[in-house]
Amino acid sequence: MTLTAPAIILDRPQLAQNIGAVARAMANFGLSDLRLVAPRDGWPQERAWAAASGAEWPLNAARVYETVAEAIADLALVQATTARPRELQLPVLTPREAVEQAHAEAGQGLRTGLLFGAERAGLETADIALCQAVVTLPVDPRFRSLNLAQAVIILAYEWRMRLDAGAPASFRPGPEPADAASLMGLYGHLEDELEAAGFFHPPEKKPSMVQNLRSALGRARFSEQEVRTFRGVITALSRGRGRVLEKIARQKAEAGRNAT
């Protein structure tokens, strides 16, 4: 069964840019039913489309109403978003709880909506009285004001999580991890060079040191290319060590000749 996402109802929205930002937030998370109640500057407004940054379908299908009562007439469940306590005896829900309730209602084939107030003053008590629950966000009490689109996107995100809580697939497939034979070759190469450099000291600690090295490298899940690159690094370092030893030998020989 395809669930109908909640309608987003904006009561007396003031700025076209905020309406466009709301449409963008809706589009991000798969909501498209945008309802505007008495927008201050009328409708449509060109700046809304500019602020939507290409998320035009909620704006193109937006419906305009004179009152909240008209905007919610076909909805079985309407939840009002507000940060201010009211005298109304309505359930007070977090965004997650509100979306769980809306999801359950949608699962029964019912239409739901989320009501948001005007930017400056929020929702009127009379309009909240038309709703079945209050949604409030756990914001810091020192600053409860939240941008309109921010409030919408939090609820839209929670709805999307109810539909698909999994992480998105990788942006592009990565290379297959190297097989055990390649890794063993890498381990042996590294350990031989570390042995030649005198790294395993004292000798009795070598087994545990080797074990720790292999465990750390194994967690990296190298690809075949990365194994080859790492072995190239080891080879370059070992050759550099050889040149240093040769230089030291020449310096000693020269010092011996000078002493005689």
Query: Is residue 173 in some structural domain?
Result: no
Last residue of a domain, one of 101, 132, 163: 163
- From the list 77, 78, 165, 160, the residue with the least C-alpha distance to 115 is 78
Query: Is residue 170 in some structural domain?
Result: no
pLDDT at 64: 96
The total domain count for the chain is: 2
Query: Is residue 172 in some structural domain?
Result: no
Same domain, 158 and 200: no
Distance of CA 14 to CAs 11, 21, 38, 62, 93, Å?
A: 9, 13, 9, 16, 26
Helices and strands in the chain, H and E counts: 10, 7
Last residue of a domain, one of 163, 190, 223: 163
Number of residues written out for the chain:
260
CATH number of the domain that residue 205 is part of: 1.10.8
Residue 204 DSSP class? G
Query: Which structural domain range is residue 254 located in?
Result: 180-259
Kindly give the confidence (pLDDT) of every residue in the chain, 260 residues in length, as a single tens digit, with 9 standing for 90 and above: 578 999 999 999 999 999 999 999 999 999 999 999 999 999 999 999 999 999 999 999 999 999 999 999 999 999 999 876 666 788 899 999 999 999 999 999 999 999 998 877 788 888 999 999 999 988 888 887 788 999 999 999 999 998 876 666 666 677 889 999 999 999 999 999 999 989 999 989 999 999 999 999 999 999 999 999 999 999 988 887 666 667 777 777 777 777 66
CATH number of the domain that residue 157 is part of: 3.40.1280.10
Neighbours of 253 (CB within 10 A): 10
Same domain, 14 and 134: yes
Last residue of a domain, one of 113, 132, 163: 163
